[in-house]
């Protein structure tokens, strides 16, 4: 992982919220929030909250008496998320998931949707979550399945590999879709002290208003953008159009739909 893999700043947060969240993150946010609400927690910690897709979904389902602490490493993502949060008892904090600024046994439930893949030391982050969880607390996390099992990003990856055949961009395969081995995840959670680990592979439908919206999300609303700008200086819009053409050829002119696949894991101490 490079430093650029973890940076969500500049125009990225707003584009991420506009294009990526409704397309691929919101469907899982609803599913995760339902699982959290079913536990009836009084205190919830969210890691890598981004622009708050899961935060908002949980706030809508939890009673006002529930205290929700939402964290992210990137302050620009938090700044945008705070402007979008309208309901719920939410405290926003910038925090490093591998060195959480909270006391031991502070939370009933911890949540991380599609953030663990960005943590350089995953076992250290798991140990921190276990430390701040109460004895009967649970950690719910979601990670993307392999790239080939997610239709939108599979097409995006293929066309970019053809466009940059000598040096294909690898961010999507390396980070978001690079941590899908359930045996590895199980072992790392247990190494961090969790005694029970349950996993399910959840397939949902991703939707975008158009191929261009989807292409803009993938090419401009996450750190893949850094790799594209490095390989094609001044050519980001042209690359985005190329990806949009490939998506339209595969899915039609829009609105478009594609299969999403992710692993949802519950770990308990």
Cβ–Cβ under 8 Å, residues 20 and 52: no
Condensed to tens digits (0 to 9), the pLDDT of residues 131-164 reads 999 999 999 999 999 999 999 999 999 999 999 9
Determine the average pLDDT of the residues in 236-246.
98
What pLDDT does 66 receive?
95
Whether the pLDDT of residue 11 is over 90: the answer is: no
pLDDT value at residue 7 = 57
Where does the pLDDT of residue 9 fall: very low under 50, low under 70, confident under 90, or very high at 90 and above?
A: low
The residue count of the chain comes to 269
For the cut 90, the answer to whether the pLDDT of residue 29 exceeds it is yes
Q: Examine the pLDDT at 186 and tell me if it is beyond 60.
A: yes
Among 262, 180, 172, residue whose Cα is nearest residue 223? 172
Could you list the residue range(s) of the whole structural domain that residue 104 is in?
Answer: 3-268
Instruction: State the pLDDT confidence band at 10, using cuts at 50, 70 and 90.
Output: confident
- Burial class from Cβ neighbours inside 10 Å (0-12, 13-18, 19+) for residue 165 reads exposed
pLDDT at 171: 95
Rounded Cα distance, 40 and 106, in Å? 16
Helix (H) or strand (E) holding 200: strand 196-208
Q: Report pLDDT digits (tens) over 94-134.
A: 999 999 999 999 999 999 999 999 999 999 999 999 999 99
The residue written with tokens 């008496």 in the block is 65
CATH code (residue 192) = 3.40.50.150
Q: What is the pTM of this model?
A: 0.93
* 115-134: burial string, b at 16+ Cβ within 10 Å, e else: bbbbbeebbbbbbbbbbbbb
Averaged pLDDT, 237-263? 97
Structurally, how many domains does the chain consist of? Answer: 1
Report helix, strand or coil for 68.
strand
Average pLDDT, the chain: 94
| Percentage of residues of the chain with pLDDT beyond 70 | 97
């Amino acid at each position: 992982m490079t430093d650029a893999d973890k940076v969500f700043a500049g125009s990225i947060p707003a584009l991420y919220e506009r294009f990526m969240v409704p397309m691929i993150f919101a469907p899982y946010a609803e599913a995760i929030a339902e699982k959290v609400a079913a536990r009836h927690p009084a205190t919830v910690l969210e890691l890598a909250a981004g622009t708050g897709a899961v935060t908002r979904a949980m706030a809508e389902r939890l009673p006002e008496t529930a205290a929700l602490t939402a964290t992210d490493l990137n302050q620009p993502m938090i700044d945008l998320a705070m402007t979008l949060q309208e309901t719920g008892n939410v405290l926003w904090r910038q925090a490093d998931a591998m060195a959480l600024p909270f006391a031991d046994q502070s939370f009933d439930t911890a949540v991380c949707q599609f953030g663990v893949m960005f943590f350089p030391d995953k076992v250290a982050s798991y140990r921190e979550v276990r430390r701040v969880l109460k004895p009967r607390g649970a950690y719910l996390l979601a990670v993307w399945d392999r790239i080939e099992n997610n239709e939108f990003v599979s097409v995006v990856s293929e066309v970019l590999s053809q466009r940059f055949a000598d040096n294909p961009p690898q961010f999507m395969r390396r980070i978001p879709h690079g941590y899908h081995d359930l045996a590895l995840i199980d072992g790392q959670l247990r190494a961090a002290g969790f005694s029970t680990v349950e996993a399910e592979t959840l397939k949902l439908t991703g939707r975008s208003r158009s191929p261009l919206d989807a292409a803009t999300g993938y090419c401009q609303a996450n750190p893949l953008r850094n790799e594209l700008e490095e390989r094609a200086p001044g050519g980001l819009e042209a690359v985005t159009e190329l990806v949009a053409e490939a998506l339209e050829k595969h899915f039609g002119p829009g609105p478009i739909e594609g299969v999403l696949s992710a692993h949802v894991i519950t770990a308990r101490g």
